[in-house]
C-alpha cells in the first residue's frame, strides 16, 4: 500500500502537470480537490481515465469519484480493493 | 468620420525570442517550445500553476498577453479589453495529439485534459480567466495574417463602445513552429492603428 501511494503521487503530478509540486509536498490525507492540491473537474476526469488505464478499474458512475478521490489514502485503498491489473 | 485609434503596445514571440515594443526582453538558445515557454514563465516570475496544464497555443497566447496586460491589471479599463485573435492552424497541434491518443483501439484512453483544448478560442477563455475579462472575444482562422480585417474589426468594437481597448493579432502554433504578434489598440497613443503599421509589426 505504501508503494502504491508513492506511485499515485508520482503519477498524479505527472499526468495532471502539477509542475510546482513535489512528491514530498503531498501528504496521504491531503484533500486532492479544493484547498489541497487544488485539482479541478477536468483533473477528476483525467483521474478516472488513469484508474481505467493503469489499474483496470472502470468507474461507471462519476459520482463515485467524490469519495474515491478524497485523498491519496482513499485512492490507494480503493485501487487495492478493486484493481484488475 | 471615425476617431483615430492607436497601437499602444505590442509583443512578438517567435524563434525562442520575445520582444515587447520592439525591444528584446527574453531569448533562449535553440530549444523545444515546452522548455522555452517554461523558461519564459520562470524568467518573468509568473505565478499561475494552471499555465502548465495549457496546450501550446494557449501558452503562447497567455505569455504574450501577460507581458502586454501586466501593467493595466485591476483597472476598470482592463475589464473592458476585447480579445480578437487569429491564426492559420486553428488548434490543429492539439487536435492531432488528441487524434493520436484515440487511434489505437487496443489502448483507447482519450484524455479529457487534451480534449478541452481542441478549439482555438480556448486560449481566449484562459486569458479572460487570468485577467478577469468579461469582454467581447473572437478567434478567426485565416490562411495568412489579415491586417486589414483585424484593423476593421478592432475599430468597430471601439467605435460601437463594445470595448475601451482591443488586444488583437496573430497566435500561430503547429508542431514546434510558432509566431505571435499581439498588439493593444485604444483611443490614445502615438503609433497610428493602420494596416501599414500592423504589417510592419508583423514582419
Digit-coded pLDDT (tens) for B21-35: 999 999 999 899 999
Check A53 against B109: CB less than 8 A apart. yes
Please determine, for residue A8, whether its predicted confidence score (pLDDT) is greater than 70: yes
Predicted confidence band at B107 (pLDDT cuts at 50, 70, 90)?
confident
- Min Cα distance B166 → chain A (Å) is 30
Task: Return the pLDDT at A35.
Answer: 78
Chain B residues 74-133 within an 8 A CB cutoff of chain A: 107, 109-113, 116
Residue B191: its H or E element: strand B191-192
- What integer pLDDT is reported at residue A37 of this predicted model? 85
Is the CB of residue B35 less than 8 Å away from at least one CB of chain A? Answer: no
pLDDT of amino acid B71 = 52
C-alpha cell at B32: 523545444
Separation of alpha carbons B28 and B15, rounded Å: 9
Pairing of strands B177-186, B81-87: unpaired
User: Tens digits of per-residue pLDDT, B53-69?
Assistant: 999 999 999 999 999 99
Residue B31 has phi, psi (to 5 degrees) of: -155, 165
| CA distance readout (Å), A13 to A71, A73, B85, B171, B175 | 14, 16, 32, 29, 25
Q: What CATH number does residue A38 fall under?
A: 1.10.1200.10
Domain that holds residue A54: 2-82
Q: Which residues on adjacent β-strands are paired with residue B84?
A: B138, B168
Look at residue B73 in the predicted model and tell me its pLDDT: 52
Q: Which residues from chain A sit within 8 angstroms of residue B116, using beta carbons?
A: 42
Residue by residue, DSSP assigns B163-187 as -SEEEEEEEEEETTEEEEEEEEEES
Q: Residue A77, CB half-sphere, CA atoms under 13 Å: how many?
A: 10
Q: Could you give the number of structural domains in chain A?
A: 1
Residue A22 touches chain B, beta carbons under 8 Å: no
Indicate yes or no: CB of A17 within 8 angstroms of CB of B110: no
Residue ranges of domains in chain B, CATH in brackets: 6-202 (3.40.47.10)
Q: Which of residues 49-78 of A touch B (CB under 8 A)?
A: 49, 52-53
Residue with grid cell 518573468, as numbered in its chain: B44
- Short-list B102, B124, B134, B138, CA closest to B54: B124
B81-87 and B137-141 beta bridge pairing: parallel
Q: Which residues of B touch A42 (CB under 8 A)?
A: 53, 112-113, 116
Report whether pLDDT(A62) > 80: no
Pick from B35, B45, B64: nearest CA to B127? B64
Amino acid at each position: 500500500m505504501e508503494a502504491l501511494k508513492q506511485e499515485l503521487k508520482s503519477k498524479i503530478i505527472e499526468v495532471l502537470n502539477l509542475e510546482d509540486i513535489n512528491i514530498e509536498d503531498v501528504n496521504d490525507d491531503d484533500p486532492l480537490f479544493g484547498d489541497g492540491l487544488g485539482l479541478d473537474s477536468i483533473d477528476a476526469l483525467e483521474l478516472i481515465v488513469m484508474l481505467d488505464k493503469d489499474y483496470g478499474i472502470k468507474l461507471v458512475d462519476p459520482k463515485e469519484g467524490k469519495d474515491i478521490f478524497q485523498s491519496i489514502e482513499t485512492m490507494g485503498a480503493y485501487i487495492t480493493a478493486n484493481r484488475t491489473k | 468620420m471615425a476617431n483615430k485609434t492607436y497601437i499602444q503596445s505590442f509583443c512578438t514571440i517567435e524563434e525562442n525570442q520575445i520582444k515587447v515594443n520592439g525591444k528584446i526582453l527574453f531569448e533562449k538558445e535553440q530549444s523545444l517550445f515546452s522548455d522555452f515557454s517554461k523558461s519564459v514563465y520562470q524568467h518573468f516570475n509568473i505565478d499561475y500553476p494552471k499555465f502548465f496544464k495549457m496546450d501550446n497555443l494557449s501558452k503562447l497566447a497567455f505569455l504574450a498577453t501577460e507581458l502586454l496586460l501586466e501593467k493595466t491589471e485591476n483597472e476598470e479599463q482592463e475589464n473592458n479589453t476585447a480579445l480578437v485573435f487569429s491564426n492559420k492552424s486553428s488548434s490543429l497541434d492539439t487536435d492531432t495529439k488528441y487524434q493520436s491518443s484515440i487511434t489505437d483501439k487496443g489502448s483507447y484512453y482519450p484524455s479529457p485534459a487534451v480534449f478541452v483544448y481542441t478549439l482555438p478560442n480556448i486560449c481566449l477563455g484562459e486569458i479572460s480567466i487570468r485577467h478577469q475579462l468579461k469582454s467581447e472575444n473572437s478567434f478567426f482562422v485565416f490562411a495568412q495574417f489579415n491586417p486589414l480585417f483585424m484593423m476593421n474589426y478592432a475599430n468597430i468594437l471601439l467605435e460601437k463602445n463594445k470595448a475601451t481597448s482591443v488586444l488583437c493579432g496573430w497566435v500561430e502554433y503547429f508542431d514546434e513552429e510558432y509566431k505571435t504578434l499581439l498588439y493593444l489598440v485604444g483611443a490614445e497613443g502615438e503609433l497610428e492603428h493602420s494596416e501599414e503599421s500592423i504589417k510592419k509589426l508583423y514582419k
